[in-house]
Amino acid sequence: MSAKLFTQAIVKFLSGLLIIGALLFLPAGTFRYPQAWLLIGILFIPMFIAGLVMMAVNPELLKKRLSAKEEQDEQKAVILLSAVKFLAAFIMAGLNFRFGWIVLPLWVSYAAAAVFLLGYILYAEVLRENAYLSRTVEVQEGQKVIDTGLYGIVRHPMYMSTLLLFLAMPLVLGSPVSFLIMLVYISLISRRMKNEEQVLGDGLEGYADYMQRVKYRVIPFIW
């Protein structure tokens, strides 16, 4: 285990925790926002555990996911729009709680939390199956096409998992307004996948054939 990698991971983890907490509790005007605490728990506890597992089992993958930066302008635009989307969704959730615009029953938050955790399980499985998984769109040295497990069902199981995660988040927070904002994610990943498949199809041997074999991108029989 590298001390530098451990420090980098802890700093990013704590920074994310502080930023999400500020975006939720400041607009809410209180720390007594139970749905926000629920989201923080189901988001950051599994994240911490997953980080420890990656650090022990596959530190190179953790390093790639912590340090990667997009080089393509297309993907930089997608990341910027995603950041704006999250910012707006979290702030609106806090304001919705503060002013009680549309109040959802608690069972909706609990049901959404179950969906969120399912998304986390799928995400962990994707990390296990694909050692080449990166936060950036690129073809890595020695990379091979992964076509087993979830990759034999849909071409982009990572986006399948993040779709569950991101659409569940605003419902965990009890905010229909934030849910509407998060729907923008569908168009963002569509844009990202189109570019990603072009890059992989051009630069990764066998990927064009893989796209012919596995028809669905994100949701079996639907998308």
Helix, coil or strand: residue 174: coil
**81-218-172 Cα angle (round to 5):** 60
Asked whether residue 135 carries a pLDDT value surpassing 60, the answer given is no
* Six-digit token string for 223: 């998308």
Sign for the pseudo-dihedral over CA of 154, 157, 161, 163: negative
| H or E segment and range at residue 1 | none
Binned at pLDDT 50, 70 and 90, residue 114 comes out as very high
Residues 22-75 pLDDT 10s: 999 999 999 999 999 999 999 999 999 888 888 888 787 777 667 656 566 666
**Residue that has been written with the tokens 């949701």 in this structure:** 219
Q: What is the pLDDT of residue 96?
A: 97
Binned at pLDDT 50, 70 and 90, residue 103 comes out as confident
Secondary structure in 3-state letters for 42-90? HHHHHHHHHHHHHHHHCHHHHHHHHHCCCCCHHHHHHHHHHHHHHHHHH
The amino acid that residue 33 corresponds to is Y
Binned at pLDDT 50, 70 and 90, residue 153 comes out as very high
**Domain architecture of the chain: domains with CATH:** 3-213 (1.20.120.1630)
Q: What is the pLDDT of residue 71?
A: 60
Closest CA to 94 of 34, 154, 166, 4: 34
Query: What is the distance between the alpha carbons of residues 67 and 53, in angstroms, rounded to a whole number?
Result: 18
Contact 172, 42 (CB under 8 A): yes
* Six-digit token string for 12: 């990013």
pTM of the model: 0.89
Closest CA to 219 of 179, 175, 189, 191: 189
Closest CA to 119 of 171, 180, 151, 166: 166
Q: What is the pLDDT of residue 127?
A: 82
Average pLDDT over residues 201-219: 91
